[in-house]
Amino acid sequence: MIEAVLPQASLLKKIIEAVKELVDEANFDFSETGIRLQAMDKSHIALSFLHLRNDGFSEYRCDRSQTLGINLNSFSKILKCAANDDQVQIKATDKAEKLAVSFESSSKDRVSEFNLKLMDIDIDSVDVPEMDYQATVTMSAQEFARIVRDMMTLGDAITIDATKQGVKFSTFGDDGDGSILLKHGKLIDDENNPSATSVEINEPVSHSLALKYLANFAKAAPLSDSVTINLIEDAPVMFEFKISEMGHIRFYLAPQIEDDNE
Amino acid sequence: MIEAVLPQASLLKKIIEAVKELVDEANFDFSETGIRLQAMDKSHIALSFLHLRNDGFSEYRCDRSQTLGINLNSFSKILKCAANDDQVQIKATDKAEKLAVSFESSSKDRVSEFNLKLMDIDIDSVDVPEMDYQATVTMSAQEFARIVRDMMTLGDAITIDATKQGVKFSTFGDDGDGSILLKHGKLIDDENNPSATSVEINEPVSHSLALKYLANFAKAAPLSDSVTINLIEDAPVMFEFKISEMGHIRFYLAPQIEDDNE
Amino acid sequence: MIEAVLPQASLLKKIIEAVKELVDEANFDFSETGIRLQAMDKSHIALSFLHLRNDGFSEYRCDRSQTLGINLNSFSKILKCAANDDQVQIKATDKAEKLAVSFESSSKDRVSEFNLKLMDIDIDSVDVPEMDYQATVTMSAQEFARIVRDMMTLGDAITIDATKQGVKFSTFGDDGDGSILLKHGKLIDDENNPSATSVEINEPVSHSLALKYLANFAKAAPLSDSVTINLIEDAPVMFEFKISEMGHIRFYLAPQIEDDNE
């Protein structure tokens, strides 16, 4: 028996919107301590991890660990039927074939009950070791989404350079080239969520990444005021969006290898 | 000679938007007492009736009864040229080939004059008898439009169950199934138009309806704070949107017959 | 060496948006006194002129006159990467192959640097003599854009009649016909930019113009509160949008010749 309640449906909506950019179907692993999800995109290049701790829910119960295979588009359709400030409850019996999803408006005048078909998904799980990153950039999540969107109009790849001065994003394409530098310690002016850019650095690192994946990661920006970008030589870049006091969503993306002959 | 003036073009815009979802062309019957329109959709399944009383206009004159055949898309195009708070006047001579439509801005600085070609439309009119319905649901028109939109993401049909507890809308599809219950007597929380759900009932009724027609009816939601749904065994369901102190628009839709073999 | 600085990127964005409606590529002529651009649309029917005076820039330097051929879509893509209140600087060395475009946020926390490839564009320049127009209409630019948009739903051409009473725009099409009269001396009610319509007239003039070009000209409406329409018998109509204290953008369009046999 699984039962989990969130006071605001909007949070679950944002989480599923962020994950469904990468994969159509995913296994949600429910355990006593919370919910975990791991998903690799179809081209096996980007990896996403979601972790929601049990204490972040207003109610949480999981009698025994259970994996629920969920079609994220179907789940998203059902969540669209919730008002943002509806309370949302998800519920499944042992060996359930359906996930019960219910919404209740704050005034209790409207109760919605949905059943989402569950599925068996065969996925190998991947272990990603924790690392001592060479550089850690923290910046406004909204600014990150904006830079990715802007750079996509010019090029296919983005280079992230983390130095003591700050973090520089650059791209090039047929129309020209460009770079955007966010200075360390400076506050990004943003009415909604002012957020200082900070670059902690052991050694300068530079990585080139495919913009189309970053555009998917940027869908997680509504979840968090800031994003943390962790870089290290010869390993995937990790993007982490904190989910308010209950967990995080992390994306890993392998850098593009530069062709020496170019 | 016909002449009718409304102080706000926005009202006429909303009325035509609501009617043009069902039919491309319609006959407007002008008489001394007001304007009536009857339209049946192309598949002959849904029927709509519009009634605007003469006293709802700021000026109204109809020397003798006359039927004007109007292409609703053309009329809608012309109405788009009016600002929402322009005064609108429609005018036709006896046996006119054109309807004169004019708009005047409140400051009288802008006067627009349009002529809309009239057409002969051959339509049999249908009589729909007034009935003693078994159940009458009154609810927020905006909430109705939202439920229809949400349910359409899941299924093709909607079942409306009116009971003493309230009204339940349910659907099912490939992704799962769902239902939304609005409780009797409870106020739907809605900043713009708070509206209590009320269910008056002699006998519980349940009808299954094609969602695509309800999506068309929901286009009338901007006309009214609330919608009234009237249900009775073995007869079409009637949806009524009141038009502020001057009439109403009614939609009739035959329930889907359930196949016993399913 | 060319260097020009504007305190608000939004102004340059609006200028490029207005020009790129007519042509894909254009020559910008930089001289000591400012920037000039002349562009003729592909069908050689409409002509646009841009003039930005040097004193309108917060910094302006042009050591020797130089013509830069710019792909307007590429320039527009780069400008989209600027926040509206970023300071924008453009810079080119003599015989440059690239235009350096840089943005700086007001808090100096974000510095963006782009390079736009320049191109050789072979265009014959056209001289348009200054004329003593017979009629000059000044009206709200936003109202002009609205009338053009509204008339396009009905017809392909618009007739502009300037008389002592005011200016009348009219069109006709398959659905019907229509006209909008703006009275001389009356204030167009518009919350954002109230603007009186004024018609100065020596002789009444009437011209019929293709609406699709006017729709392009209307893209310049965000640049200016008002538009001035200059009319004279047997010559192109001139539309002028002033650019706040630093210049203007002018569009010339030849009237349609009316076929007497019609």
Are C155 and C102 contained in the same domain? no
* pLDDT computed for residue B261 by the predictor: 44
| Cβ separation C176–B112 shorter than 8 A | no
Question: How far is Cα A154 from Cα C208, in angstroms, rounded to an integer?
Answer: 41
Q: Which of C71, C74, C109 minimises the CB distance to A182?
A: C109
Instruction: Tell me: pLDDT of B128 over 70.
Output: yes
* Domain assignment present for C130: no
Query: Residue C150's closest chain B neighbor by CA?
Result: B81
Same domain, A111 and A168: no
B179 CB neighbours in chain A (<8 A) are 112-114
Residue A245 backbone dihedrals phi, psi, to 5 degrees: 55, 20
B113: which chain C residues are within 8 Å (Cβ-Cβ)?
Answer: 178-179, 181
The answer to whether residues C97 and C150 belong to one domain is no
Once rounded to an integer, what is the mean pLDDT over residues A105-128? 89
Residue B111 sits in the same domain as residue B139:
no
* Model confidence pLDDT, tens digit, residues B25-47: 999 999 999 999 999 888 888 99
Number of domains observed in the structure of chain A: 2
| B residues 65..94 contacting C (CB < 8 A) | 71, 73-74, 77-78, 80-81
Domain carrying residue C34 = 2-117
Cβ pair B189:A73 closer than 8 A:
no
Whether C165 and chain A come into contact, CB under 8 Å, resolves to: no
pLDDT in tens, C118-146: 999 988 778 888 889 999 999 999 999 99
How far is it, in rounded angstroms, from Cα B148 to Cα B157?
10
Which of B98, B107, B111 lies at the smallest CB-CB distance from C176? B98
Residue B162 DSSP symbol: E
Same domain, B17 and B91: yes
pLDDT digits (tens, 9 = 90+) for A23-75: 999 999 999 999 999 998 888 889 999 999 999 999 999 999 999 999 999 99
> Cα(B5)–Cα(B27) distance, rounded to whole angstroms?
19
Asked whether residue A122 is assigned to any structural domain, the reply reads no
- Residue B194 pLDDT: 53
Reported ipTM: 0.84
Question: Best interface-test mutation with B: which of C149, C152, C154, C197 has the largest number of B CBs within 10 A?
Answer: C154
Residue C126 lies in a domain: no
Residue B129 lies in a domain: no
Which CATH number belongs to the domain containing residue A213 in this structure? 3.70.10.10
Among A117, A146, A164, identify where a domain stops: A117
In this prediction, residues C230-250 reach a mean pLDDT of 94
Residue B262 lies in a domain: no
The answer to whether position A258 is within a domain reads no
Based on the domain organization, do C153 and C100 belong to the same domain? no
- With CA atoms as reference, report the closest residue to A128 among A260, A15, A239, A208: A239
- From chain C, the residues in CB contact with B106 under 8 A are 189
Query: Considering only CB atoms, which chain B residues are within 8 Å of C182?
Result: 109-110
Q: Where is the domain boundary, B70, B88, B117?
A: B117
Residue B225 lies in a domain: yes
Domain shared by A148 and A238, yes or no: yes
B115 touches chain C (CB under 8 A): yes
Residue B258: band (very low, low, confident or very high) from pLDDT cuts 50, 70, 90: low
For the segment C82-96, what is each residue's pLDDT rounded down to a tens digit?
Answer: 999 999 999 999 988
**CA distance, residue A82 to nearest chain C CA (Å):** 34
> Any idea what the CATH number is for the domain that residue A17 is in?
3.10.150.10
Looking at the fold, whether B110 and B144 belong to one and the same domain comes out as: no
Does A178 contact chain C (CB < 8 Å)? Answer: yes
Task: Please indicate if any CB of chain B lies within 8 Å of the CB of C150.
Answer: yes
Give the model confidence (pLDDT) of A211-233 as tens digits.
999 999 999 999 999 999 999 99
Residues A110 and A184 in one domain: no
How many C-beta atoms lie closer than 10 Å to residue A140's C-beta?
25
What mean pLDDT comes out for the span B224-247? 94
Cβ separation A114–B179 shorter than 8 A: yes
In a domain, C100, yes or no: yes
Are both A13 and A60 inside the same structural domain?
yes
Q: Are residues A175 and A140 in the same domain?
A: yes
Q: How confident is the model at residue B106 (pLDDT cuts 50, 70, 90)?
A: confident
Q: Are residues C112 and C141 in the same domain?
A: no
pLDDT score of A261: 44
